[in-house]
Amino acid sequence: MDTENGPNAISGSASASPLRAGTVAAAPARVGIVGASGYTGAELLRLAAAHPSFDVVAVAGDTQAGAAVRDLYPSLAADYGDLRYCAYDPEIFVGLDAVFLGLPHMASAPVVADLYKRVGCVVDLGSDFRLTDPELYPQWYGAAHPMPELLGELPYGLPELGREALRGAAGVAVPGCYPTAAALALAPFARGGHISTSGVVIDAASGVSGAGRAPKPNTTFSSVDEDFVAYGLLDHRHTPEIEQATGCQVLFTPHLAPMVRGILATCYARPLSDSIGGLSTDDALGVLADFYADEPFVVVHRDAPHTKATLGANTCHLSARVDPRTGWLVVLSAIDNLVKGASGGAVQCANIALGLPETAGLPTTGLMP
Protein backbone atom coordinates (compact mmCIF):
# COMPACT_ATOMS: atom_id res chain seq x y z
CA MET A 1 0.00 0.00 0.00
CA ASP A 2 1.22 3.54 0.41
CA THR A 3 4.21 5.14 2.09
CA GLU A 4 3.59 8.59 3.50
CA ASN A 5 4.91 11.94 4.64
CA GLY A 6 6.90 14.38 2.55
CA PRO A 7 10.42 15.80 2.92
CA ASN A 8 12.07 17.40 5.92
CA ALA A 9 15.29 16.53 7.70
CA ILE A 10 17.39 16.84 10.84
CA SER A 11 20.79 18.41 11.14
CA GLY A 12 23.94 16.36 10.69
CA SER A 13 26.79 16.99 8.32
CA ALA A 14 27.18 14.52 5.46
CA SER A 15 30.37 12.74 4.66
CA ALA A 16 32.14 14.11 1.61
CA SER A 17 32.87 10.64 0.25
CA PRO A 18 30.14 7.99 0.47
CA LEU A 19 30.82 4.31 0.88
CA ARG A 20 31.74 3.09 -2.58
CA ALA A 21 29.01 0.81 -3.89
CA GLY A 22 30.07 -2.82 -3.99
CA THR A 23 32.59 -2.58 -1.16
CA VAL A 24 32.34 -3.58 2.49
CA ALA A 25 32.42 -0.61 4.86
CA ALA A 26 35.39 -0.38 7.21
CA ALA A 27 33.49 2.31 9.13
CA PRO A 28 29.71 2.51 9.75
CA ALA A 29 27.63 3.43 6.73
CA ARG A 30 26.17 6.92 7.24
CA VAL A 31 22.43 6.72 6.59
CA GLY A 32 19.64 9.25 6.08
CA ILE A 33 15.87 8.85 5.84
CA VAL A 34 13.55 11.27 4.02
CA GLY A 35 9.93 10.76 5.08
CA ALA A 36 10.99 9.32 8.42
CA SER A 37 7.84 10.29 10.32
CA GLY A 38 5.66 7.74 8.50
CA TYR A 39 5.31 4.11 9.41
CA THR A 40 7.89 2.96 6.87
CA GLY A 41 10.30 5.60 8.17
CA ALA A 42 9.77 4.48 11.76
CA GLU A 43 10.34 0.88 10.71
CA LEU A 44 13.56 1.91 8.96
CA LEU A 45 14.71 3.55 12.18
CA ARG A 46 13.88 0.41 14.17
CA LEU A 47 15.83 -1.81 11.79
CA ALA A 48 18.74 0.62 11.53
CA ALA A 49 19.09 0.64 15.32
CA ALA A 50 19.93 -3.07 15.22
CA HIS A 51 22.07 -2.89 12.07
CA PRO A 52 25.77 -3.48 12.79
CA SER A 53 26.90 -1.13 10.00
CA PHE A 54 24.29 1.67 9.92
CA ASP A 55 24.68 5.04 11.62
CA VAL A 56 21.57 7.22 11.15
CA VAL A 57 22.78 10.82 10.89
CA ALA A 58 19.85 12.61 9.19
CA VAL A 59 16.07 12.12 9.21
CA ALA A 60 13.13 13.90 7.58
CA GLY A 61 9.40 14.33 8.15
CA ASP A 62 7.58 17.50 7.08
CA THR A 63 4.53 17.13 9.31
CA GLN A 64 6.77 16.70 12.37
CA ALA A 65 9.45 19.36 11.74
CA GLY A 66 11.10 20.23 15.06
CA ALA A 67 9.54 17.31 16.93
CA ALA A 68 11.58 14.65 18.66
CA VAL A 69 11.46 11.17 17.16
CA ARG A 70 10.88 9.73 20.62
CA ASP A 71 7.74 11.86 21.07
CA LEU A 72 6.13 10.54 17.89
CA TYR A 73 7.40 6.98 18.36
CA PRO A 74 8.17 6.20 22.03
CA SER A 75 9.30 2.74 20.93
CA LEU A 76 12.40 4.38 19.41
CA ALA A 77 13.34 6.42 22.48
CA ALA A 78 16.15 4.16 23.70
CA ASP A 79 18.08 4.49 20.44
CA TYR A 80 17.06 7.92 19.17
CA GLY A 81 16.54 9.96 22.33
CA ASP A 82 18.02 13.19 20.90
CA LEU A 83 16.98 12.89 17.27
CA ARG A 84 14.58 15.50 15.83
CA TYR A 85 12.84 16.00 12.52
CA CYS A 86 13.62 19.17 10.54
CA ALA A 87 13.17 20.63 7.05
CA TYR A 88 14.53 18.74 4.07
CA ASP A 89 17.66 20.17 2.51
CA PRO A 90 19.40 17.97 -0.05
CA GLU A 91 22.80 19.23 1.07
CA ILE A 92 22.29 17.50 4.43
CA PHE A 93 22.01 14.16 2.63
CA VAL A 94 24.56 14.58 -0.15
CA GLY A 95 27.59 12.39 0.53
CA LEU A 96 25.83 9.86 2.76
CA ASP A 97 26.29 6.17 2.08
CA ALA A 98 22.57 5.40 1.81
CA VAL A 99 19.43 7.53 1.81
CA PHE A 100 16.00 5.92 2.14
CA LEU A 101 12.88 7.68 0.82
CA GLY A 102 9.55 6.88 2.48
CA LEU A 103 7.49 9.44 0.56
CA PRO A 104 4.00 9.46 -0.98
CA HIS A 105 3.45 8.19 -4.48
CA MET A 106 4.85 10.60 -7.10
CA ALA A 107 6.65 12.65 -4.43
CA SER A 108 10.04 10.95 -4.47
CA ALA A 109 11.07 11.76 -8.04
CA PRO A 110 12.44 15.26 -7.28
CA VAL A 111 14.31 13.96 -4.24
CA VAL A 112 15.81 11.13 -6.29
CA ALA A 113 16.90 13.78 -8.81
CA ASP A 114 18.54 15.70 -5.95
CA LEU A 115 20.45 12.72 -4.61
CA TYR A 116 20.99 10.18 -7.38
CA LYS A 117 24.73 9.57 -7.79
CA ARG A 118 25.40 12.15 -5.07
CA VAL A 119 25.00 9.52 -2.34
CA GLY A 120 26.22 5.93 -2.21
CA CYS A 121 22.71 4.58 -2.91
CA VAL A 122 19.29 6.24 -2.88
CA VAL A 123 16.66 3.66 -1.92
CA ASP A 124 13.15 4.71 -2.92
CA LEU A 125 10.29 2.98 -1.11
CA GLY A 126 7.72 4.89 -3.18
CA SER A 127 6.22 4.01 -6.54
CA ASP A 128 7.96 6.60 -8.68
CA PHE A 129 10.54 4.33 -10.31
CA ARG A 130 9.01 0.87 -10.02
CA LEU A 131 7.39 0.81 -13.46
CA THR A 132 9.67 0.84 -16.48
CA ASP A 133 6.99 1.97 -18.95
CA PRO A 134 6.22 5.72 -18.55
CA GLU A 135 2.87 5.25 -20.33
CA LEU A 136 1.56 3.30 -17.33
CA TYR A 137 1.80 6.22 -14.91
CA PRO A 138 -1.06 8.35 -16.34
CA GLN A 139 -3.34 5.31 -16.37
CA TRP A 140 -2.58 3.98 -12.89
CA TYR A 141 -1.30 7.04 -11.01
CA GLY A 142 -3.29 9.79 -12.71
CA ALA A 143 -0.33 11.85 -13.94
CA ALA A 144 2.56 11.70 -16.37
CA HIS A 145 5.85 10.64 -14.85
CA PRO A 146 7.85 13.80 -13.98
CA MET A 147 11.25 12.28 -14.83
CA PRO A 148 10.84 9.52 -17.42
CA GLU A 149 14.52 9.77 -18.29
CA LEU A 150 15.33 8.14 -14.93
CA LEU A 151 12.93 5.22 -15.38
CA GLY A 152 14.97 2.07 -15.68
CA GLU A 153 17.98 3.67 -13.99
CA LEU A 154 16.93 2.32 -10.59
CA PRO A 155 16.76 -1.50 -10.63
CA TYR A 156 13.68 -3.13 -9.13
CA GLY A 157 14.54 -4.12 -5.58
CA LEU A 158 13.27 -7.64 -5.02
CA PRO A 159 16.55 -9.48 -4.36
CA GLU A 160 15.14 -13.00 -4.59
CA LEU A 161 14.13 -12.29 -8.19
CA GLY A 162 16.94 -9.99 -9.33
CA ARG A 163 19.86 -9.75 -6.93
CA GLU A 164 22.65 -9.15 -9.44
CA ALA A 165 21.17 -5.89 -10.70
CA LEU A 166 21.37 -4.47 -7.17
CA ARG A 167 25.09 -4.98 -6.65
CA GLY A 168 26.77 -1.58 -6.70
CA ALA A 169 23.51 0.16 -7.70
CA ALA A 170 23.41 3.94 -7.20
CA GLY A 171 19.65 3.73 -6.69
CA VAL A 172 16.96 1.10 -6.04
CA ALA A 173 13.19 1.11 -6.59
CA VAL A 174 11.78 -0.93 -3.70
CA PRO A 175 8.65 -2.95 -4.59
CA GLY A 176 5.26 -2.30 -3.08
CA CYS A 177 4.03 -4.58 -0.32
CA TYR A 178 1.35 -6.38 -2.35
CA PRO A 179 3.69 -6.90 -5.34
CA THR A 180 6.34 -8.35 -3.01
CA ALA A 181 3.93 -10.95 -1.65
CA ALA A 182 2.44 -11.77 -5.06
CA ALA A 183 5.71 -11.87 -7.01
CA LEU A 184 7.45 -14.16 -4.53
CA ALA A 185 4.47 -16.52 -4.77
CA LEU A 186 4.07 -16.58 -8.54
CA ALA A 187 7.51 -16.00 -10.05
CA PRO A 188 8.83 -19.54 -9.51
CA PHE A 189 5.90 -20.96 -11.45
CA ALA A 190 5.84 -18.32 -14.18
CA ARG A 191 9.60 -18.39 -14.75
CA GLY A 192 9.66 -22.18 -14.69
CA GLY A 193 6.96 -22.47 -17.33
CA HIS A 194 4.59 -24.29 -14.98
CA ILE A 195 1.53 -22.03 -15.35
CA SER A 196 -0.42 -20.09 -17.91
CA THR A 197 0.58 -16.45 -17.47
CA SER A 198 -2.86 -15.14 -18.46
CA GLY A 199 -5.92 -15.04 -16.25
CA VAL A 200 -4.04 -15.20 -12.94
CA VAL A 201 -6.17 -14.17 -9.95
CA ILE A 202 -4.77 -12.60 -6.77
CA ASP A 203 -6.81 -11.94 -3.64
CA ALA A 204 -4.75 -10.26 -0.93
CA ALA A 205 -5.53 -8.78 2.46
CA SER A 206 -3.43 -6.20 4.28
CA GLY A 207 -3.32 -4.76 7.76
CA VAL A 208 -4.30 -1.13 8.21
CA SER A 209 -0.71 0.09 8.68
CA GLY A 210 -0.33 -0.27 4.91
CA ALA A 211 -2.51 2.82 4.52
CA GLY A 212 0.06 4.97 6.34
CA ARG A 213 0.13 7.00 9.53
CA ALA A 214 -2.04 9.88 8.37
CA PRO A 215 -5.63 9.59 9.67
CA LYS A 216 -8.30 8.61 7.15
CA PRO A 217 -12.02 8.04 7.74
CA ASN A 218 -11.85 4.44 6.53
CA THR A 219 -8.83 3.48 8.65
CA THR A 220 -9.94 4.59 12.10
CA PHE A 221 -10.33 1.88 14.74
CA SER A 222 -14.11 2.12 14.70
CA SER A 223 -14.16 1.70 10.90
CA VAL A 224 -11.71 -1.18 10.67
CA ASP A 225 -12.53 -3.21 13.77
CA GLU A 226 -14.81 -6.17 13.03
CA ASP A 227 -14.84 -5.31 9.32
CA PHE A 228 -13.33 -6.84 6.20
CA VAL A 229 -13.66 -5.03 2.89
CA ALA A 230 -12.35 -5.17 -0.67
CA TYR A 231 -11.15 -1.97 -2.32
CA GLY A 232 -9.41 -0.75 -5.47
CA LEU A 233 -11.67 -3.00 -7.52
CA LEU A 234 -10.17 -3.62 -11.00
CA ASP A 235 -7.92 -0.55 -10.83
CA HIS A 236 -5.54 -0.80 -7.88
CA ARG A 237 -2.24 0.89 -8.77
CA HIS A 238 -0.19 -2.16 -7.78
CA THR A 239 -1.70 -4.16 -10.66
CA PRO A 240 0.82 -3.14 -13.37
CA GLU A 241 3.69 -3.58 -10.92
CA ILE A 242 2.58 -7.12 -10.13
CA GLU A 243 2.28 -7.85 -13.85
CA GLN A 244 5.75 -6.43 -14.50
CA ALA A 245 7.30 -8.41 -11.63
CA THR A 246 5.61 -11.73 -12.44
CA GLY A 247 5.21 -11.62 -16.21
CA CYS A 248 1.56 -12.57 -15.68
CA GLN A 249 -1.72 -10.91 -16.60
CA VAL A 250 -3.50 -10.58 -13.26
CA LEU A 251 -6.86 -9.74 -11.77
CA PHE A 252 -5.83 -8.25 -8.42
CA THR A 253 -8.27 -7.53 -5.60
CA PRO A 254 -6.88 -6.09 -2.33
CA HIS A 255 -8.75 -6.22 0.98
CA LEU A 256 -8.41 -4.32 4.24
CA ALA A 257 -8.25 -6.66 7.23
CA PRO A 258 -8.84 -5.70 10.89
CA MET A 259 -5.19 -6.11 11.91
CA VAL A 260 -2.25 -3.71 12.19
CA ARG A 261 0.41 -5.55 10.15
CA GLY A 262 0.62 -8.31 7.63
CA ILE A 263 -0.34 -9.33 4.11
CA LEU A 264 -1.80 -12.66 3.07
CA ALA A 265 -1.92 -13.12 -0.69
CA THR A 266 -3.84 -16.03 -2.22
CA CYS A 267 -2.85 -16.48 -5.87
CA TYR A 268 -4.67 -18.69 -8.39
CA ALA A 269 -3.20 -19.86 -11.69
CA ARG A 270 -3.81 -22.60 -14.27
CA PRO A 271 -0.99 -25.18 -14.52
CA LEU A 272 0.14 -25.95 -18.03
CA SER A 273 -0.90 -29.42 -19.09
CA ASP A 274 2.66 -30.57 -19.77
CA SER A 275 4.14 -29.14 -16.55
CA ILE A 276 5.78 -31.95 -14.57
CA GLY A 277 3.24 -34.43 -15.84
CA GLY A 278 0.31 -32.37 -14.64
CA LEU A 279 1.66 -30.74 -11.46
CA SER A 280 0.60 -32.07 -8.07
CA THR A 281 0.66 -30.38 -4.68
CA ASP A 282 3.98 -32.06 -3.89
CA ASP A 283 5.34 -30.86 -7.24
CA ALA A 284 4.21 -27.29 -6.53
CA LEU A 285 5.80 -27.29 -3.09
CA GLY A 286 8.95 -28.67 -4.70
CA VAL A 287 9.02 -25.83 -7.23
CA LEU A 288 8.94 -23.30 -4.39
CA ALA A 289 11.48 -25.19 -2.27
CA ASP A 290 13.94 -25.54 -5.14
CA PHE A 291 13.57 -21.94 -6.32
CA TYR A 292 14.17 -20.51 -2.83
CA ALA A 293 16.57 -23.15 -1.50
CA ASP A 294 19.33 -20.63 -0.82
CA GLU A 295 17.18 -17.67 0.20
CA PRO A 296 17.52 -16.69 3.90
CA PHE A 297 14.24 -14.77 4.03
CA VAL A 298 11.86 -17.22 2.33
CA VAL A 299 10.20 -20.07 4.23
CA VAL A 300 8.41 -22.81 2.27
CA HIS A 301 6.15 -25.15 4.24
CA ARG A 302 3.23 -27.47 3.56
CA ASP A 303 1.08 -25.74 6.17
CA ALA A 304 -0.80 -22.59 5.20
CA PRO A 305 1.18 -19.46 6.17
CA HIS A 306 0.16 -17.12 8.98
CA THR A 307 0.67 -13.36 8.86
CA LYS A 308 1.45 -13.46 12.59
CA ALA A 309 4.44 -15.71 11.89
CA THR A 310 6.03 -12.88 9.90
CA LEU A 311 5.30 -10.07 12.40
CA GLY A 312 8.40 -7.90 12.70
CA ALA A 313 10.47 -10.21 10.47
CA ASN A 314 11.88 -9.77 6.98
CA THR A 315 10.51 -13.13 5.90
CA CYS A 316 8.02 -14.39 3.35
CA HIS A 317 6.22 -17.63 4.19
CA LEU A 318 4.92 -19.63 1.22
CA SER A 319 2.81 -22.69 0.59
CA ALA A 320 0.94 -24.16 -2.38
CA ARG A 321 -1.81 -26.58 -3.36
CA VAL A 322 -3.01 -28.07 -6.63
CA ASP A 323 -6.69 -28.94 -6.72
CA PRO A 324 -7.18 -31.96 -8.99
CA ARG A 325 -10.93 -31.37 -9.06
CA THR A 326 -10.86 -27.84 -10.52
CA GLY A 327 -7.34 -27.88 -11.95
CA TRP A 328 -6.26 -24.69 -10.17
CA LEU A 329 -2.87 -24.04 -8.57
CA VAL A 330 -3.19 -22.03 -5.34
CA VAL A 331 -0.10 -20.29 -3.94
CA LEU A 332 -0.26 -18.59 -0.55
CA SER A 333 2.15 -15.90 0.61
CA ALA A 334 2.44 -14.11 3.96
CA ILE A 335 4.65 -11.14 4.80
CA ASP A 336 4.83 -8.25 7.23
CA ASN A 337 3.86 -5.34 4.98
CA LEU A 338 6.14 -2.91 6.85
CA VAL A 339 9.20 -5.18 6.91
CA LYS A 340 9.63 -7.51 3.91
CA GLY A 341 6.95 -5.47 2.12
CA ALA A 342 8.69 -2.13 2.66
CA SER A 343 11.45 -1.13 5.09
CA GLY A 344 13.06 -4.55 5.57
CA GLY A 345 13.14 -5.11 1.83
CA ALA A 346 14.71 -1.67 1.45
CA VAL A 347 17.46 -2.48 3.98
CA GLN A 348 18.08 -5.81 2.24
CA CYS A 349 18.54 -3.93 -1.05
CA ALA A 350 20.83 -1.33 0.52
CA ASN A 351 22.97 -4.08 2.04
CA ILE A 352 23.48 -5.62 -1.38
CA ALA A 353 24.10 -2.30 -3.14
CA LEU A 354 26.70 -1.23 -0.57
CA GLY A 355 28.47 -4.58 -0.44
CA LEU A 356 27.37 -5.36 3.11
CA PRO A 357 26.16 -8.80 4.25
CA GLU A 358 22.67 -9.10 2.81
CA THR A 359 21.13 -10.29 6.07
CA ALA A 360 22.70 -7.57 8.26
CA GLY A 361 20.22 -5.96 10.63
CA LEU A 362 17.27 -7.99 9.38
CA PRO A 363 15.32 -10.29 11.73
CA THR A 364 14.01 -13.62 10.50
CA THR A 365 12.06 -14.53 13.65
CA GLY A 366 8.51 -13.22 14.03
CA LEU A 367 6.93 -12.03 17.26
CA MET A 368 4.58 -14.40 19.07
CA PRO A 369 2.12 -14.06 20.60
Taking the CB of residue 201, how many other CB atoms lie within 10 A of it? Answer: 15
Residue from 95, 103, 93, 124 nearest 61 by CA: 103
66: left (phi over 0), alpha (psi -120 to 50) or beta: left
CA angle 286, 161, 263 (to 5 degrees): 80
Catalytic residue from among 86, 121, 177, 349: 177
Dihedral, 176, 113, 38, 28 alpha carbons, nearest 10? 100
For the question of residue 177 being annotated catalytic, the response is: yes
Residues labelled as active-site residues:
177
